[in-house]
Structure 1
Amino acid sequence: MRIDEFGLPSLVRLSNFAGRSSAFLARVDHDTWTRITATVREAGGRLISLWGAEEAPGISAISAAYALKDGILWLQLPVGEGHGDSDGYPDISVVFPCATRMQRAVYELVGLRAIGAEDTRPWLNHGNWPAEYRPLQKLSSGTERSQSQEADYPFVHVVGDGVHEIAVGPIHAGVIEPGHFRFSVVGEKVLRLEERLGYAHRGIERLFERVLALDGHHIAGRIAGDTTVAFTWAYCMAVERAFDIQIPPRAQWLRALLLERERTANHLGDLGALGNDAGFAYGLARFSRLKEDWLRLNDRFFGHRYLMDRIVPGGVAKDIDARSVTAMLTQCDQIDAQVRVMQRIYDDQSGLQDRFAGAGILSAEVAEHLGVCGLVGRASGRKTDVRVDHPYAPYHEVQVQMVSDERADVAARVAVRFGEIYESIRLIRALLADLPGGEIVSRIEHTGSPSRGVGWIEGWRGDVFVALETGASGTISRCHCHDPSWQNWPALEHAIIGNIVPDFPLINKSFNLNYAGHDL
């Protein structure tokens, strides 16, 4: 079903991405909001993100972005004076369960409540601000201070003979981000896991309002250090669509080069960590060295190990020359050969396979129900990849061969990582072989009128989304960034059921989700 077939009279095309996808915006009423939500589900679409904003005193809007066959449908529902319920909107978690936590965050940040929602517990507010305070409302500066009022969180309790709870976190033994995991177990077998996150909320969405749209990419690139390319590209795409700017072809190809290098670096690191979590320290040592070599070449030719600030509005900040191309192609040959050797070792190592196979199964049905995306979804047979389904430049020319697996366990998620390294290396070779000439950045001048734009990029975890609304003088009135971990964290709770507690670190690492990146 195409977006223009939904019968939305207010439908406006926001942009054509440079590629084969579009974005549309529609202002709707409560009934249409509910009808479209159900229709999107029936049409095989999925929820990308849900967020809220205060548009004027007494008037706010709840927004939802849906992925459909021909692009993004951004729905806006006004809420407030003269717009139905004064502070609420129809719950969509009954149709898209992954919206549950997003709706809880919207209420705490903006004050908009989901009418009829079953789970209304706090998500971001751990007692760090008063219950009536709303950080994203216009009257709030975002700099207010208050005393902690933390209260006990109402976890769901499992009862029965021999059932007990194990609390893990939010502070962990390793150098990782904070998150609390409450296990209900019998012996060592897990009956239920419930997560509590939100400890790393940094007020990033409010920080965007303090800078000009042409400077916001610096903030976007620091949402998640391991996904800096994807977030920056998505943000810059939103700016370019809002200001109707076309970037040079060479810049498009260089952006894809940076994205595939980011994807490869993260997969190399994860494969080592997964080996280590299964007691195979040799894997950690080998993959750590491969990742370090990869990052050093980033620094050598792009000026930053993790490629931060390399993408800018209008293009890229750093070009490459023939010497760089030769060195990267040589490295691709070396890394490809060594990773294939390591895959044979992993496949033949009985201790690893005993830990990987059958652990942390996330069935295709559960993945579909929860809207799981990215590599976790592809390892459960859910074949979604923005580079393939909605190819933006240059991916409509350099076609991606999607990597997937049907086994749905840790072994499948390991196999997808190996496959995606090989595919990224193939793409890097193709990008370097046909890299266009010309400029690497376009000049951008703000036209002076308020505008909107969206960015949508397939990061290494899954699709990263940015919705941008600008003011009359190039300021940012609202910038919402979405990490795929919103969809995938609830799936981890299902994947651990029936496993033993000592397998949780391995299963958790096979997902490797973002803590701070979705606690904006």
Structure 2
Amino acid sequence: MLIAQFIEDLEHLPGPLPMHYRTVRADTWRRVAQAVSEAGGRLLSLWGSDRTRGASGSLVISAAYVVREGLLWLDLPLGERSVIDPQHPSYPDLVPFFPCAAHLQRAAADLLGVVAEGATDRRAWLNHGAWPANWHPLRRQDPHPGLPAAQEVTDYAFVRVAGDGVHEIPVGPVHAGIIEPGHFRFSVVGEKVLRLEQRLGYKHKGIEKRFTELPPLAANRLAGRISGDSTVAYAWSYCMALESLASCEIPERACWLRALLLERERVANHLGDL
């Protein structure tokens, strides 16, 4: 498959960058991933969403790729399709083409209950015991009385490295300074590091779910609070998404004001590193 020929038949979305969109089937989902990989493109993101409306609609897994022609966005409706578990719709695994997809697919499994066929790593990624393993925050489900009871916290199954003289050194998740938490498990022999495995997701705050509960014109405040050191960047990105959907252009003065605030934020972050 040639990406350039494939994009010619796609829907072109409005926005500051060339964006191309299509709903695809499972076989096309996999073929496009392989073609993008072979062409030197990158997987930008992978996420899931619940687009059910009563008896219609389905769960959807989406992927965004960066290719020479711009941004390529694919949706794969899952419906009842599953070769693993009827309660957890599945889709073709992208890890053979993009290893970075592993963590994104594990996050989609935690939040939406959709799983990648053939994926070898099915450990939880974002769920650190804050909600039951069979409850998925991003699904449209019956109202529940508050947050579901947390599950019993168990030891995370880090990959073990065996051999004479091999030691495991755990670091984190709490670190010195103000950096975000993360657990790093080093497997070492003397001063040689054989393997480093990370476990992140400690700062997951349910932002994506909260966005679904707010009116579009009120969610810009939430966007600006995703990360305290990037308030302008996140808020502007959210506004750009809405403006692209509405096919509108902001006044030149508004653009310059945004640029001024963004530059001040950039400088402040550089000063904070000194």
TM-score (structure 2 length as normaliser): 0.89
Q: Which residue of 2 aligns with 1:80?
A: 79
* Mapping of residues 220-239 of structure 1, within 5 Å: 220-239=223-242
CA distance in 2, matches of 1:154, 1:140: 32
1:54 matched to 2:86? The reply is no
Task: Please report how far the alpha carbon of residue 84 of structure 1 lies from its aligned counterpart in structure 2 after TM superposition.
Answer: 6.8
Q: What is the DSSP-based 3-state SS (H/G/I as helix, E as strand, rest coil) of the residue aligned with 2:120? A: coil
Q: What is the rounded CA distance, in whole Å, between the counterparts of 1:263 and 1:113 in structure 2?
A: 38
Closer, same or farther: CA 53–269 of 1 in aligned 2, 3 Å: same
Taking the TM superposition and a 5 Å limit, the aligned residue runs for 1:456-495 are none
Identity %, equivalent residues: 55
Maintained 8 Å contact 1:2/1:68:
no
Map 1:89-488 to 2 at 5 A: 89-139=91-141, 143-270=146-273, 272=274
The one-character-per-residue Cα deviations of 1:420-450 (angstroms, maximum 9, x if unpaired) are xxxxxxxxxxxxxxxxxxxxxxxxxxxxxxx
Q: Residue in 2 aligned with 1:37?
A: 33
1:23 alignment partner, one of 5, 11, 19: 19
- Does the 8 A contact of 2:63 with 2:74 survive in 1? yes
**Residues 112 and 139, structure 2, Cα contact 8 Å, conserved in 1:** yes
Question: How far apart are the structure 2 equivalents of 1:174 and 1:107?
Answer: 32
In structure 2, runs of 5+ residues without a counterpart are: none
Query: Once superposed, what is the RMSD of the aligned Cα atoms?
Result: 2.2
Contact conserved, 2:3 with 2:32, CA < 8 A, in 1? no
Task: Provide Cα deviations, 1:142-168, integer angstroms capped at 9, x if missing partner.
Answer: 842303411111101112221111111
Structure-2 separation of matches of 1:171 and 1:44: 37
TM-score (norm 1): 0.48
Secondary structure class of the residue paired with 1:210: coil
Taking the aligned partners of 2:201 and 2:5, their CA distance within structure 1 comes to: 38
CA contact (8 A) 2:107 2:124 kept: yes
CA distance in 1, matches of 2:123, 2:113: 13
Question: 1:15·1:24 contact (CA, 8 Å) conserved in 2?
Answer: no
Distance 1:199 1:159 in 2: 28
Letter in 2 for 1:98: C
Q: Which moved more, 1:166-175 or 1:203-212?
A: 166-175
> After the TM superposition, which segments of 4 or more aligned residues of structure 1 sit over 3 Å from their partners?
1-4, 83-86, 140-143, 173-176
Q: 1:173 to 1:202 in 2, by over 3 A?
A: same
Cα gap change, 1:140 to 1:226, in 2 (>3 Å): farther
Cα distance per residue 1:315-360 (max 9 Å; x no partner): xxxxxxxxxxxxxxxxxxxxxxxxxxxxxxxxxxxxxxxxxxxxxx
Deviations 1:426-480 (A, max 9, x none): xxxxxxxxxxxxxxxxxxxxxxxxxxxxxxxxxxxxxxxxxxxxxxxxxxxxxxx
Determine helix, strand or coil for the equivalent of 1:172: coil
Specify every segment of 5 or more residues in structure 1 that has no aligned partner in the other structure, as ranges.
273-520
What is the count of residue pairs matched by the alignment?
A: 266
Secondary structure of the structure 2 residue equivalent to 1:53: strand
Q: Supply the distance in 2 between the matched residues of 1:32 and 1:107 (Cα, whole angstroms).
A: 21
SS at match of 1:6: helix
Instruction: Give the superposition deviation at 1:101.
Output: 0.4
Following superposition, the deviation at residue 181 of structure 1 comes to 1.1
C-alpha spacing 1:153/1:208, structure 2 compared with 1 (3 Å): same
Q: Which has the higher contact order (CA 8 A, sep 6+)?
A: 1
Q: Which is greater in Rg?
A: 1
Report the residue type matching 1:126 in the other structure: H
Q: Residues of 2 paired with 1:228 and 1:204: CA distance?
A: 14
Mapped to 2, the partners of 1:42 and 1:259 lie a distance apart of 36
Give SS of 2:51's match.
strand
